[in-house]
C-alpha cells in the first residue's frame, strides 16, 4: 500500500480576504472529495485581519494558518537545521521586512516540504472562482489530474508534447484569469504613452513588431470557462499566471527570486519549466481577478506603480537568464543569475529614463510616479542588480533548506 498524495493549497495574504478564503476552503473540500489526496490548506497571513480569517478557516480540515511570527519561527528553525553560509541573510531573504511576492511563495514551498506535500497549488487573496452550469470551476481539478504523473499517462484534450519528454513527470499545471488585468494599468490602455511604458519590459533586441505583440497581450486575461480544455505541452509562460499555478518537484529544486517591492518576481519557475522543456498542463479553469480598493488609494497606487517600475528594471537581468537557460539544474541557473549582474548598467539607466518620461506623459497622479522614479533612480538600479546577487545565494542554499524543512515541524 502506498501513502496518499499530499497537496498544499496555499494563499499568501497581507490584506482582508475572508471571501477569497471561503472560496479556497471550498476548493480544498472539492479536491478531497474528488481525488485520493490529503489537502493541506496553508494561509500565510501578514494582515491585520487574522481573527476574521481564522473564523472562516475554522470550518476546514488540515488548516495551517500562520501569522508573521510563526512563519519566522519556522524559518529560523529551518535555517538552523541547514548547513548554509550567511544564515542571517538567508532568513531575511525568506522573510523580508518589505513586500516580496517571491519570498512569500518560497516560504510556502518550505512549509509544504515540512508537511510532506508532493504538490503546491498557489492562489492569491484577490480572486474568486468562475461558476459554470451552477458549479464552481476549481483549478485544482485540472492540476491534480496531471501533476507529478509521467507525461505519457496524462490524458489531455490536446497533446503537443515532444516524444522525448514523455517519460518525464508533469512539473507544472496552470491557467490564467478572467476579469481585471493582472497588472493594474487598465485605466491607461488607451493613452499614447501606454505602449511606451509597457514595451519597456520586452527582451533586449526585440523588434518593433515583437514589442507591439507583447504590449497587446501583456497582463490581459483569457476567455471565460465553457468546458474543460487541457493541453499537454511545454507551457508558454505568457499563458499562465502565478495566482493560478501549481508545481510538482520543480519548486524543491529552484526557489523564486526574493526581490522586494517588485511585481512579477514570483514568475521565475514558469520560465524555468519552459526553458528546461519540462512537461506541463495548460488548462482553462481560469480564476477571476479583481483589484482591491486599497490599490486605488493614493498610497496604494504609488506603491503599486513603484513595484511595476522595479519589475521593468529587473527584467534587464531576468531576460539575460531566460535567454540562456536550458536546464532546471540549480547550479547552472545560479551561474547565469550571477553572470547577469556583470552586464553594464548603462542600458538599464536608459530604461529608467524612458520609464520616467512615459509616466510623465501619462500625467495626473502618474506624474508623482515619474517624480519617484527620478528621485529614487540610482537606488532602484542598485536594488535591481543586488536582488540577483541575493537570488544566487538563495539558489545555492535551497537544497539544504528543503532538506532541513522536511525534518522541521511546522
Nearest to 313 by CA among 181, 163, 191, 200: 200
The pLDDT value given to residue 32: 95
- Alpha carbons within 13 angstroms on the beta-carbon side of residue 394 total 27
Whether residue 283 is predicted with pLDDT greater than 80 in this model: the reply is yes
Whether residue 26 is predicted with pLDDT greater than 90 in this model: the reply is yes
Of all helices (H) and strands (E), which one includes residue 331? helix 330-340
Band of residue 161 on the pLDDT scale cut at 50, 70, 90: very high
The pLDDT value given to residue 1: 36
Phi, psi (rounded to 5 degrees) for 51: -65, -45
Whether residue 233 is predicted with pLDDT greater than 80 in this model: the reply is yes
CA dihedral sign, ordered 262, 298, 178, 183? negative
Rounded mean pLDDT of the chain? 94
Pick the range with the lowest mean pLDDT from 72-76, 155-159, 227-231, 296-300.
296-300
CA dihedral sign, ordered 22, 25, 31, 34? negative
pLDDT tens-digit profile of 178-227?
977 667 677 788 888 889 999 999 999 899 999 999 988 888 888 999 99
The pLDDT value given to residue 43: 98
* Average pLDDT of the segment spanning 7-25: 96
Contact between residue 275 and residue 303 where contact means Cβ atoms under 8 Å apart: no
Contact between residue 111 and residue 74 where contact means Cβ atoms under 8 Å apart: yes
Whether residue 77 is predicted with pLDDT greater than 80 in this model: the reply is yes
* Average pLDDT of the segment spanning 380-394: 97
Long-range contacts of 186-195 (CB under 8 A, 24+ apart): 188/362, 188/366, 191/361, 191/362, 192/361, 193/358, 193/359, 193/361, 193/362, 194/362
The pLDDT value given to residue 290: 79
* Average pLDDT of the segment spanning 225-253: 96
pLDDT tens-digit profile of 289-321?
877 666 567 778 899 899 999 999 999 999 999
pLDDT tens-digit profile of 310-358?
999 999 999 999 999 999 999 999 999 999 999 999 999 999 999 999 9
Nearest to 358 by CA among 215, 191, 208: 191
* d(C-alpha 281, C-alpha 140), whole Å: 12
Whether residue 80 is predicted with pLDDT greater than 50 in this model: the reply is yes
Amino acid at each position: 500500500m502506498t501513502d496518499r498524495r499530499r497537496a498544499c493549497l496555499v494563499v499568501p495574504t497581507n490584506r482582508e480576504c475572508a471571501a477569497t478564503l471561503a472560496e479556497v476552503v471550498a476548493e480544498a473540500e472539492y479536491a478531497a472529495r474528488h481525488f485520493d489526496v490529503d489537502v493541506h490548506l496553508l494561509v500565510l497571513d501578514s494582515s491585520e485581519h487574522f481573527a476574521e480569517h481564522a473564523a472562516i478557516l475554522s470550518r476546514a480540515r488540515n488548516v495551517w494558518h500562520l501569522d508573521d511570527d510563526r512563519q519566522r519561527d519556522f524559518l529560523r528553525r529551518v535555517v538552523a537545521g541547514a548547513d548554509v553560509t550567511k544564515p542571517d541573510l538567508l532568513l531575511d531573504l525568506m522573510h523580508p521586512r518589505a513586500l516580496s511576492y517571491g519570498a512569500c511563495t518560497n516560504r510556502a514551498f518550505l512549509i509544504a516540504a515540512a508537511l510532506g506535500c508532493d504538490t503546491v497549488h498557489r492562489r492569491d487573496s484577490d480572486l474568486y472562482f468562475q461558476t459554470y452550469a451552477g458549479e464552481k470551476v476549481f483549478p485544482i481539478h485540472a492540476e491534480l489530474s496531471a501533476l507529478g504523473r509521467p507525461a505519457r499517462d496524462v490524458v489531455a484534450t490536446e497533446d503537443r508534447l515532444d516524444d522525448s519528454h514523455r517519460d518525464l513527470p508533469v512539473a507544472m499545471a496552470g491557467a490564467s484569469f478572467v476579469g481585471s488585468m493582472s497588472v493594474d494599468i487598465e485605466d491607461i490602455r488607451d493613452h499614447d504613452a501606454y505602449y511606451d511604458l509597457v514595451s519597456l519590459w520586452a527582451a533586449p533586441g526585440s523588434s518593433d513588431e515583437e514589442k507591439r505583440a507583447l504590449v497587446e497581450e501583456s497582463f490581459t486575461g483569457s476567455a471565460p470557462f465553457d468546458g474543460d480544455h487541457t493541453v499537454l505541452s511545454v507551457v508558454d509562460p505568457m499563458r499562465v499566471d502565478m495566482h493560478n499555478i501549481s508545481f510538482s518537484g520543480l519548486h524543491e529544486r529552484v526557489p523564486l527570486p526574493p526581490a522586494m517591492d517588485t511585481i512579477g518576481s514570483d514568475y521565475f519557475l514558469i520560465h524555468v519549466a519552459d526553458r528546461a522543456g519540462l512537461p506541463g498542463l495548460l488548462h482553462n479553469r481560469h480564476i477571476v481577478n479583481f483589484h482591491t480598493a486599497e490599490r486605488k488609494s493614493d498610497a496604494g497606487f504609488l506603491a503599486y506603480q513603484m513595484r511595476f517600475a522595479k519589475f521593468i528594471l529587473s527584467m534587464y537581468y531576468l531576460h539575460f537568464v531566460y535567454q540562456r537557460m536550458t536546464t532546471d539544474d540549480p547550479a547552472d541557473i545560479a551561474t547565469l543569475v550571477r553572470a547577469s549582474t556583470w552586464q553594464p548598467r548603462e542600458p538599464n539607466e536608459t530604461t529608467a529614463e524612458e520609464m520616467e518620461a512615459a509616466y510623465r506623459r501619462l500625467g495626473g497622479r502618474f506624474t508623482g510616479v515619474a517624480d519617484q522614479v527620478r528621485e529614487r533612480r540610482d537606488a532602484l538600479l542598485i536594488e535591481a542588480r543586488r536582488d540577483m546577487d541575493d537570488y544566487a545565494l538563495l539558489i545555492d542554499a535551497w537544497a539544504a533548506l528543503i532538506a532541513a524543512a522536511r525534518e522541521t515541524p511546522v
